[in-house]
Copies of this chain bind each other. A is one copy, B any other.
Amino acid sequence: MANDYKTSKGQVFDRDTFESWNKRKNFYWQSFEPYGATKGLFDYGIAEPLEYEILNIWRDHFVRSEKMISLKTSMLTPYKVLKTSGHVDKFADFMCKDPKSGEILRTDHLIKDVIETRLKGDREAREDFANIIKKHDIRNPTTGNEVEPPVPVNLMFQTEIGASGKEPAFLRPETAQAQFLAFPKLVEITGGRLPFASACIGYSFRNELSPRSGLLRVREFLMAEIEHFVDPEGGKKHPKFSRVRDIKLPLLARDVQQAGGSTSTEMTVGEAVEKKVIDNETLGYFLVRIMQFMQKIGIDMSKLRFRQHMENEMAHYAADCWDCELLNSYGWTECVGCADRSAFDLSVHQKATGVNLQIQETLPAPIKSTEWVAQLNKKNSGPRFKKEVGKVQSALDSLSQELREKLSITLKDEGKVEVDVPEMGKVELGNDLVKFEQETTTRTTREFIPNVIEPSFGIGRILYSLLEHVWWTREGDAARAVMSFKPSVAPTKVLVVPLQKDSRLTPTVQALEERLDEEAISYELDQSGVSIGKRYSRNDEAGIPFGITVDYESLEDNSFTLRDRDTTKQVRASLDDIVDAIHKMIKGKESWADVQKRLPVVEAKEEDK
């Protein structure tokens, strides 16, 4: 897979070259390097402002546009919460120990590495790990030793809250649980009118046994999770579905995968929901919104697909799940999970805590219902049955409606009935002891636990895939990388380049800097002595979309050249026009092509090195 992966320009992607670019430009690195670095933990350098821009777009696209309630919740999570949710028992990977070297090996990686079998998407296979290892005589490839039988290891980081050590706690494996426990607050804030959604951008933790694949599998990661609460009745419709109905999605459905297929098919979301490829409107709506978000941040749409989970692949809480997968040099990578968690979580928390996590809905019209009630005569049944009166009433309560009706006729006809009472056998009840009556009740409300559709974004994986998607090299110079970030997500927007080291240029450069500061446009100043061509090369590697050159003409008429990173084309205009063009391109209201049409293009001599 890695060998097939190509850049957006169709160039073969070489991961070593990519990694040496990162080493040069310091987008991210392993944490605590001076102490030998810690696996699965990463620091972000230039990737930090990039992530900030991605999150800004996410907030605008989801939280503001969809009127979600943004929450911040605790990472430290008490034991009892994650016991109820199932994570204490089920959030685990299998590991094998090399008993001689003491090395800990993740069982699925071990097997995959050794017999080159792809187990992805087959959680059930875990049960067979021990057999597979025995049958194929799988050993630790580093030492050649036989390994101990696989055992499950919980992947949550454990700690203790308070000094007494009495309250064990975990670092959360997902932000979702705290959002579910905030459900009563969400009902207060929204007035309980479904659908509504909460959203949380926050860190989760997973104590990976053997972290690998760089930013793709880490121990501490940023998630952006949405919990969309919806009425389980009425087909989980979405009020804005009509707006997206005709948008096409690249879908890889479960049945296609079962038949051995791995190619996605384009289909409008309307058709997909109609044909039940996608279960419901709400799920479909979010798949479209996820795709639109990816497009906004600059993901290559030819490297995106939605893959449905296989039945045996889903997490313990999920009823259905579609992953948004992005293609990068490691293969198709799950970057967003869009799961239907049904009523699982709210139900188990309600049961464990006794707190009402239901929605109470006023019915459009009251519903009347008539029921047969079987009731002991209190005055007479007490002396007759003494301590056993409760057993008799329970037996009556457990009678079906049909039987109650039948017994009422028998009682009327014969003056007595016989009822089976557990531990007491057949008990005879006369008119003095029991009566059967029809009662009519009127319900004006309906109480139910809502279902949850959960789009859950792995921000680090999206960011890494984006880095690969925008990375390419200039023709004829494989070492000269270009990062084609969209202006809206680029970590820095402008490079200011004085033509030469000349103090006559300084006042104009300073005035330009002040203007950019006023406009809150982030910029860097490169006044190193190297050639303009070299400075722009370094700029392109950092992914800064625009360059402003300060030359001797600038001193005279306050005009500047504005350079586009991707095309290396330049226009020349007044400072006001240039600032205006930059703002418009950052906001996505204009493209470089638009700007090139309305502002005069100049020869880009500085590209000749």
Contact = CB atoms under 8 A, between A and B. Distances in A.
A64 interface: yes
Interface string A65-102: 10101111111111011000000000000010000001
A182 interface: yes
A385 to B, nearest CB: 39
B52 A70 contact: yes
A44 B32 contact: no
Given A71-B44, A209-B163, A76 B35 contact: no
A511 interface: no
Nearest to A63: B49
Interface stretch (A151-159, A269-277, A449-457): A151-159
Interface residues of A, number: 74
A75 B43 CA distance: 10
B44 A72 contact: yes
B520 A64 contact: yes
Contacts of A76: 38, 41, 157, 205, 219-220
A70 B49 contact: yes
Contacts of A41: 74, 76
Given A43-B182, A160-B157, A51 B34 contact: no
A189 interface: yes
Contacts of A189: 26, 45-46
Contacts of A64: 520, 522
Taking the full assembly, how many copies of this chain does it contain? 2
B102 A181 contact: no
Nearest to A209: B163
A104 B42 CA distance: 37
Which of A46, A102, A159, A357 is packed against the most chain B CB atoms within 10 Å?
Answer: A159
Nearest to A191: B528
A184 to B, nearest CB: 7
A353 interface: yes
Given A104-B162, A181-B34, A184-B33, A43 B78 contact: no
Contacts of A219: 76, 161
Contacts of A570: none
A220 B162 CA distance: 12
10 contacts: A32-B78, A42-B74, A45-B69, A45-B182, A48-B71, A64-B522, A74-B220, A160-B207, A171-B171, A203-B203
Closest 6 CB pairs of A and B: A44-B72, A34-B355, A31-B74, A34-B353, A41-B74, A48-B70
